[in-house]
Chains A and B, each alone.
Chain A
């Protein structure tokens, strides 16, 4: 999938565990884990807003787009 999730990178920068993020955001650890692995179809704006607020980042820091052609090279 050309959409890359960099949640683990941002979490590592903020030195925040998945458990802590889950508690602060109010999303289950299972769902956050799925998001981290990129195994979800989408993310709601309010979830994204809560994650950005807790991790003090912008949506672009968490979600990135890599076109298919460049990934094949």
Chain B
């Protein structure tokens, strides 16, 4: 069977490098959390607010991104619980990416070793696809948690940042929180599932071929 050792070796190396970098990022996130809770300063929500709303006043935002029509709000007071929410979110997200990279790394290593259409590879590809799909689902959960948190902590009595799904008609709205979803993740998940099906067919054909002498 013809192999492409250079490409596969590069993929194995790249995935290994990603794993190391993710490990460093996890350590950095934990370090920043410890630094943040011990220090003082403005607490800014990292979840973007939609500023296309007609009454949106830019002065209420600490920073904004005109290209994406997104702004970032400042909390009215210091909330250590936001840091906790942020670190749990970061670790979960990095953890999911770490897990997916680990599966991909093992897959590349096996393919490099010449084990291509095996039942194990099919299973791992399906796992990878489901994991990437879960990252997409996680973004929805992340939106719900941030929206509820920001609704509860950033508002004063009259002007609020509201989650679009839980808007309160009685209050003057500064901006809406809309889900910051990445649909390319969903497409990647579907592509991975299709590749896993190709591998499943390949595994079947290889097994059939081995049964013939």
Stretch at the interface among A11-19, A38-46, A54-62, A64-72: A38-46
Q: Give the residues in chain B near A32, CB-CB below 8 Å.
A: 213
Q: Give the residues in chain A near B213, CB-CB below 8 Å.
A: 27, 31-32, 34-35, 40, 42-44, 47
Chain B residues bordering chain A, tally (CB within 8 A): 4
Q: Give the residues in chain B near A35, CB-CB below 8 Å.
A: 213
Chain B residue with the shortest CB-CB distance to A35:
B213
User: Which residues of A line the B interface, CB within 8 A?
Assistant: 27, 31-32, 34-35, 40-44, 47
Most buried by B among A27, A41, A43: A41
For the complex with contacts A42-B211, A44-B213, 14 further pairs of A-B residues with Cβ separation under 8 Å are A27-B213, A31-B213, A40-B211, A40-B212, A40-B213, A41-B208, A41-B211, A41-B212, A42-B212, A42-B213, A43-B212, A43-B213, A44-B212, A47-B213
Bound complex: CA A47 to CA B211 (Å) = 13
User: Which residues of B line the A interface, CB within 8 A?
Assistant: 208, 211-213
Q: Give the residues in chain A near B211, CB-CB below 8 Å.
A: 40-42
Chain B residue with the shortest CB-CB distance to A51:
B213
Chain B residue with the shortest CB-CB distance to A25:
B213
Q: Tell me the minimal C-beta distance from A48 to chain B in angstroms.
A: 9
Bound complex: CA A8 to CA B101 (Å) = 53
Q: Tell me the minimal C-beta distance from B112 to chain A in angstroms.
A: 26
Q: Give the residues in chain B near A34, CB-CB below 8 Å.
A: 213
Q: Give the residues in chain A near B208, CB-CB below 8 Å.
A: 41
Pairs A-B, 4 closest by C-beta atoms: A41-B211, A31-B213, A42-B212, A40-B213
Bound complex: CA A49 to CA B92 (Å) = 61
Bound complex: CA A47 to CA B212 (Å) = 10
Bound complex: CA A47 to CA B209 (Å) = 14
Bound complex: CA A40 to CA B208 (Å) = 10
Bound complex: CA A44 to CA B210 (Å) = 11
Bound complex: CA A41 to CA B206 (Å) = 13
Q: Tell me the minimal C-beta distance from A36 to chain B in angstroms.
A: 11
Q: Tell me the minimal C-beta distance from A52 to chain B in angstroms.
A: 14
Q: Give the residues in chain A near B212, CB-CB below 8 Å.
A: 40-44
